[in-house]
Amino acid sequence: MFCGECGSSRTATVESRKRADPRPNDTTIIERLPRPTAVVSVPIPPVVTAAPITNPTAAPSVAPPAAPPGRTTFVLRFSTGQRVSVHGSGLIGRKPLPQPDEIVDDLIRVADADRSVSKTHLEFGQHDGEFWVSDRVSGNGTVIRRPGETAEPLEPGRRYVLPRGTRVEIADHSFSVA
């Protein structure tokens, strides 16, 4: 039945070597769902930006907005010269964008030509009048320096409560909480 030299079958023919294709037929018609005709839009809150301060000792010409009842106002002073008053939750980054199901009060853009800051680098908010931050799985990480303590790198997704005077380092930039 088999050749002693090469091992091939002596009785096999070209027709007997063909096997049926076990794959399904490629001409199966898949029913497609109709495309929706309505446009779905999600409102995006306005981006908060602040002009660089040329004289840090001068009082601002416009008073910061009053905090809603039950919320405290915190001032974030960035190494870029930005100074932003926040009183709720928000995102910080080169081009921060909330998730579709996420609602934030402030979107703060950090001018970063070197792109060391992630698009959505950091999340912040308040709980019982205390300010907290959380790294959003940024590329270059986040480090906090509380007054009188050593530097502490942030674990992504975990909230860290910060007292006033804390310095937060986001990649090559930083801000302090006042």
pLDDT for 108 equals 94
Domain 47-55+67-177 has CATH 2.60.200.20: yes
pLDDT for 93 equals 94
Query: Domain boundaries in the chain?
Result: 47-55+67-177
Phi/psi for 60 (5° steps) reads -65, 145
- 118: Cα separation from own chain's centroid: 7
pLDDT for 3 equals 77
pLDDT for 68 equals 57
- Global model pTM greater than 0.85: no
pLDDT for 7 equals 74
d(CA 77, CA 142): 16
pLDDT for 1 equals 67
pLDDT for 110 equals 92
Residues of the chain with pLDDT under 50: 41, 53, 55-56, 59, 61-62
d(CA 123, CA 134): 5
Sign of the dihedral through C-alpha 153, 155, 156, 158: negative
